[in-house]
Amino acid sequence: MQAKIKKTGDITVVELSGKLDFETAEPFRDTCYDVLLNNKVVFNLKDLSFVGSTGIGVFVNTLKEFSQKNPVPPKFCNVKSEFKKIFNSEQSEEVVNPFQVFEDEKTAIKSFD
């Protein structure tokens, strides 16, 4: 997995691409806390895919924890159906879904207004 970080005004857009696996999930966690914490963040998952289940648990837990610790919850866009299923499985009646998903990057950015 690779992450390309760009700024759009005061919003940080993280474009994730490549294959998600266990080896890339841990460095991603570090980047979230070292670079992205305390920022308005949009995660663009358009070019991200995963192979099997290795790394997906760490990835989703990182996103969930980051959503809870960041003062402004991040937004997600261009989320493929397999990730939507995983995101939706993370909610229960007691817990509000921490994942705010938008169709495209522009809409996700506008949602911070």
Q: Fill in the amino acid letter for 109.
A: I
User: Taking the model in full, what pTM does it have?
Assistant: 0.86
Q: What percent of the chain has pLDDT over 90?
A: 45
Range of the domain at 34: 2-110
- Cβ(68)–Cβ(98) below 8 Å: yes
Query: Per-residue pLDDT for 72 more than 80?
Result: yes
* Residue 95 structure tokens: 């817990």
Secondary structure element (H or E) that encloses residue 83, with its range: helix 81-89
- Cβ(42)–Cβ(105) below 8 Å: yes
pLDDT, tens digit, for every residue of 1-51? 899 999 999 999 999 999 887 788 788 889 899 999 999 999 999 998 876
90 — phi, psi (to 5°)?
-80, -10
CATH number at residue 84: 3.30.750.24
| 21/51 Cα distance (integer angstroms) | 7
Tokens 């299923």 found at: 85
| 26/78 Cα distance (integer angstroms) | 22
Q: What is the pLDDT of residue 51?
A: 61
User: How many structural domains comprise the chain?
Assistant: 1
